[in-house]
Amino acid sequence: MNGSLKEFILIGFSSMSAEYYTLIFAAALLAYELTVCGNLMLVANIMLDKKLHSPMYFLVCNLSLADIFFVSTTLPKLMSRYLLDDKVILYNGCFTQMYFFLFLSSLEAYILIAMAIDRFLAICKPLRYPVLMNSRNSILLAAFLWTLGFITPIKSVSLTQTMDFCGPNKIYHCICDYSAVLKLACNDISPLSIQGLVTALSLVIIPFSFIVFTYVKIGIAVSKLKSSGRAKAFSTCVAHLVIVFCFYFSEAFVFISYRIQNVSTDLRILGSLQYAVLPPLLNPFIYSFRNKDIRDAIKRKLKGNLIEKHQIEVTVIRN
């Protein structure tokens, strides 16, 4: 560790009075419970229904798992901050949280790209799709995405940790955000700030542009299909597009806000929490209600449970 700091203080929403702390905690707790339970149910549904054992839903499972880890990196500490007034985070703990936040946000971006590629191959290259996206290749792709996400933040976090932090130690954020922590360094942060901006833009502009380009190609291919095929193709794409726009626009706002002087700290924090919490929260609901295959899987599961319950009741009555 460079510098004399052993801990940081998470200021959080600086303009928020203490009377709102309970409300912030309750909102965070509700979001955390809904996100974890919703994504676990989505994963369980996909794993238990053989009709959903396809590359697309395998990627959805990976996205849901990443979502669970993502909110678990941010919300527990935020809840502790506003329930117990626990503002302190240890030096190493801060950089650990920063690493996992960047790792999981990068992973989400990579999975969203992979899902766009999957839809492109399924709709535009249907004859080659079974060969390119077979079970083996899907597993290898997922392993590659998790490895790439794991590697992406290593350089940025390790270089930031070598900086001198000699005070102040107040982080104007609810988490150990990369840019917010970097501002506390006593050294010249220009090189790291530029590197961080380049990395951030490469994880926003390039992936988002690629996904938009992919969906333009998909849109052209879908427009040539019959009405029935067109409806099914669109139903598998709409859910993914909603998550994409929600994630990338929120992320882009945060990165841009750090380069604009008059953006309030609280608004910047809210933007960070939005892209860290909102997509994981919405993901299971969007895929459950907007995707016909998953809706049908839920109906089959509920119907099976009702039949099983009825059979048990009949058995009990007969005995």
What's residue 319's pLDDT? 56
Interhelix angle for 55-83 vs 91-124, to 10°?
A: 150
Contact 171, 181 (CB under 8 A): yes
Q: According to the model, what pLDDT value does residue 27 have?
A: 92
Written out in words, the top-level CATH class of the domain with range 7-318 is mainly alpha
pLDDT for the residue 165: 86
Question: How many angstroms separate the CA atoms of 45 and 203, rounded?
Answer: 30
pTM listed for this prediction = 0.85
Q: Taking the domains of the chain in order of start, what are their residue ranges?
A: 7-318
At 209, which amino acid appears? Answer: S
Mean pLDDT by groups of 10 residues along the chain of 319 residues: 76 83 92 94 87 88 94 93 90 94 92 92 89 92 96 90 85 88 85 78 82 88 71 70 82 74 80 84 77 67 59 55
pLDDT score recorded for residue 229? 61
What pLDDT sits at residue 292?
65
Token code pair at residue 259: 């380069």
Alpha helix stretches (DSSP H) within the chain: 21-48, 55-83, 91-124, 129-132, 135-151, 154-161, 178-182, 190-202, 205-223, 227-257, 265-290, 292-318
pLDDT confidence of residue 103? 95
Q: Residue 176, SS3?
A: coil
Q: Tell which residue, 25, 22, 34, 31, has the closest CA to residue 284.
A: 34
